[in-house]
Structure 1
Amino acid sequence: MNIDFSEVLNKFEPKGVSDLLIGVDGNGELHSHHFLHKNNLLIVGQTGSGKSVAMHQMVLSGMFNKSPRDIQFVFYDPKRVDYLEYKNSPFLMKDIMYHTEELEEYLIELTAILDKRMKQFVNTKTIDIERYNKYARENDLEEFPYIITVIDEIAVPSCESPEIQEHLVRIMQKSRAVGIHFIIGTQTPRRDVITGALKANMLSRIAMKVSGETESMIAIDELGAEQLNGRGDMIYKVDGRSELLQSSYVSEENIETLCDYFNTKYSI
């Protein structure tokens, strides 16, 4: 079943800056993932499952409903093909990363950003990004944008640099309140890729079609993802509950059209 992306995008009403569209249920109701409240999101799916399309859906829904002052995205794409249309986007915090070394350097930079934000929270006696930004608007201070880092395939850097997951876990343990979040994907749900430490900091998960029961258990701690049909159907697990959803279909034309629109709107 193909669900028209343009239709659901126009119907989607986010509940906050970091609330991104993820799918539609059997009754036609839209579902989203609010990163400030639900935090980081792990997405697992084999080739042809619709994993990359679902990630585009989330990213574009954030860009469509907010401005670059509100939300910024960072992409790590070792395949070098999935995010080229975003190359000159006003929503990009930095150039698209293709190499493990670039990702490792970025995570060090992100740690410094996290520490700076936490110090500002202490100085302003605020406890999260929403309250800080409200204080900043009222006191003529710089507001902090949400930063959502999309790691399209975590298996590559995990194999090339053991320190990558250590950096990720350290950031994830402290980053929720300061508006720093991750969408991490993989086609390879093995235990050496989706480690216990990583899973402990990514309690919100999406499983799309996987090859077997073992992969489903690693991804969402339950069976079922191996029985999905692919092409965008998913099990979304959050707060211990699982929902069967369907991602809309995001075409290359959708991506190109929207990216051109954003570039024109924000004069890039």
Structure 2
Amino acid sequence: KNTEPSVKRKKLKQLIPLKTFGKTLKDEQEADDSIAESQKPKETNIRIIKKEDASKVIEPEPFINEVEPQISKTKMKDISKSEIDRSLESELPDQWEEKIPYTPPRIDLLNPVKEEDVKIPEKELTQNAELLKEKLSLFDIQIDDITVTPGPVITLYEIVPAPGVKISRIVSLEHDIALALAARGIRIIAPIPGKSAIGVEIPNARASVVNAASILGKMREVKAELPLALGKTIVGDVYYTDLANMPHLLIAGSTGSGKSVGINMMITSLIFAKHPSDVKFVIIDPKKIELSFYGRLNKHFLAVSPDLEEEIITIPSNALLALKAVEYEMEKRYDKLAKLGVRNIVDYNAKVSDPRKRPPDTDVMKHYKLPYIVVVIDELADLMITSGKEVEEPIARLAQLARAVGIHLLVATQRPSVNVITGVIKANFPARIAYQTATRIDSRTILDMNGAEQLLGRGDMLFLPAGMPKPIRIQNAFISTEEVEKVTNFIYVQKGFSKRYFLPSMFERKMETGGNFLADLDPMFEDAARVIVRHQQGSVSLLQRKLKLGYSRAARIVDQLEDAGIVGPSEGSKAREVIIENEDQLESLLKNL
């Protein structure tokens, strides 16, 4: 009985106008619906930027060579310094007195360009943008605009959040966004430098390989003193930089990240762009295999120490001597710049090229065009383990002072720890490249920020130019071992300079700075040197036993042997390393003392 009247009362209430508000319930429902419709989030504007030439490559010109270069399988020992008559070489003209017919390497020496134009369908890009918007909307983050820029390896989504949205909220959702898009790993740039937008970098399902030929094709058109071809940016633009402006480059990355390929690409780009009289390399390769191909360029592009048997430095103690020789070269160059009253190598070379401004040569100082010197160290960690502070000192001094005289450093390591990249070294290398690192700590050590641990490997890198707040993401161009061998052999079969480019001898420096070095030598110095070299053991106790000397005198002779470059520095309780390998080399050294 009570049910039916109540139902009737409800039906009547729906038809009774509400006098208080002047509206019926039906009018109120319509008003509520219109309010809900107005509160719905605005539709996000999604734009896809088409870059027709994003994966465009430079087609190589047909190459006609009268002399087909033979790909030599000559090992390094076949062209080592031990087989060259030093006395004959010393009588030959220096490189600055000689001009050689030189043909620069051509693009055809590299593998044909087969860089696939991997185009991502617009439907897939739009779908990813919608997923990105939906995922953020679940966390009450509204997006006003999304701009999609596809690249060869990475696609960049530039999102413009609605007013009032905090950037930190979007950054904290990094893993959620990666899960929603089923991506291998994403990187958020908050904000993009120079734009009022946040960047989300998402790896492509299919990545196109950046071929070396597509990068080096226009290398000689780049206006730079020391151009380095790094690769392509995330939008597909070819990226070049100038080592002379950096002025030094620190490189780090874990095993397999593409670090050694990147170093080969940088060296090859300089060889493509410069004449042998313009640039020389001092290559230190403790791993012995990564950079051995360049040893055959000893008459073209290498600068070598007259005190060492090696042209590509592989022994850590030799690396220390080579760095000190480069440091001595820096000091001699500064003396030349001061003599002419100029401030840098560019002004100096311009002045000596003008016969009216060039001063006369003397026995002490000769003026000629100075080539740039690029010191390449492939594994700094190995040198720091064996020599520590002793190798840190010349590296730091070169990094501080060598720019003005045209000496630049490319230093790489796969262990970017604070024990390897010390504060002194790091402070003098403002330009840095980080390949994929194992941890965030390693990324912060090299870049002072996170991000390198999220890279994909295989040449994916972050390049931090000097003075820039945020790094640039670049896909390193790939150059194979076979391509490097073809390029070096092409140059090797050409006539080189008669004489190699020698760094100054450290023994000369000892005589110049020591003054009475010869007069202060112990009478048993030569006998002690022969004993040490014959037994290949730099030990005080060995001299005590063999020459019947007291401890103090034997220790003083060992110090003199170190000054002469016969033995290495002290290593605590261990015997010193013997630098001179055989008695023939020792006799030659003793004659020069």
Does the TM-score normalized on the shorter chain lie above 0.5? yes
The aligned runs of 1:1-268 (5 Å cut-off) are 1-12=208-219, 13-89=221-297, 90-94=300-304, 95-139=311-355, 141-162=367-388, 163-238=390-465, 239-240=467-468, 241-267=470-496
Deviation at 1:232, TM superposition (A): 0.4
Letter in 1 for 2:318: E
> How many Å separate the matches in 1 of 2:223 and 2:317?
36
- Contact 2:284–2:376 (8 Å) recurs in 1: yes
> How many Å separate the matches in 2 of 1:193 and 1:82?
20
Question: So what's the TM-score if we normalise by structure 2?
Answer: 0.44
- Alignment RMSD: 1.3
> How many Å separate the matches in 2 of 1:27 and 1:70?
33
Deviation at 1:169, TM superposition (A): 0.5
> How many Å separate the matches in 2 of 1:10 and 1:180?
27
> How many Å separate the matches in 1 of 2:342 and 2:393?
28
- Contact 1:14–1:20 (8 Å) recurs in 2: no
Q: Would you say how many aligned residue pairs link Structure 1 and Structure 2?
A: 268
Letter in 2 for 1:115: E
Q: Identity percentage over the alignment?
A: 32
> How many Å separate the matches in 2 of 1:30 and 1:134?
31
- Aligned to 1:258, the other structure's residue is in SS state helix
> How many Å separate the matches in 2 of 1:204 and 1:181?
12
Question: So what's the TM-score if we normalise by structure 1?
Answer: 0.96
Deviation at 1:267, TM superposition (A): 4.0
Which entry has the higher C-alpha Rg, 1 or 2?
2
Cα deviation digits, residues 82-127 of structure 1 (max 9, x gap): 0111111121112000111111101111111101111111111111
- Contact 1:17–1:70 (8 Å) recurs in 2: no
Unaligned ranges ≥5, structure 1:
none
- Aligned to 1:46, the other structure's residue is in SS state coil
Cα deviation digits, residues 178-205 of structure 1 (max 9, x gap): 1101100010011010001000000100
> How many Å separate the matches in 2 of 1:26 and 1:11?
20
- Contact 1:17–1:71 (8 Å) recurs in 2: no
- Aligned to 2:409, the other structure's residue is in SS state strand
Letter in 2 for 1:261: F
Q: 1:242 to 1:266 in 2, by over 3 A?
A: farther
- Contact 2:253–2:434 (8 Å) recurs in 1: yes
Report which of the two has the higher share of strand: 1
- Contact 1:17–1:62 (8 Å) recurs in 2: no
Q: Which moved more, 1:79-88 or 1:200-209?
A: 79-88
Cα deviation digits, residues 49-84 of structure 1 (max 9, x gap): 000001001100101111111001111111111011
Letter in 2 for 1:75: I
Q: Which moved more, 1:243-252 or 1:14-23?
A: 14-23
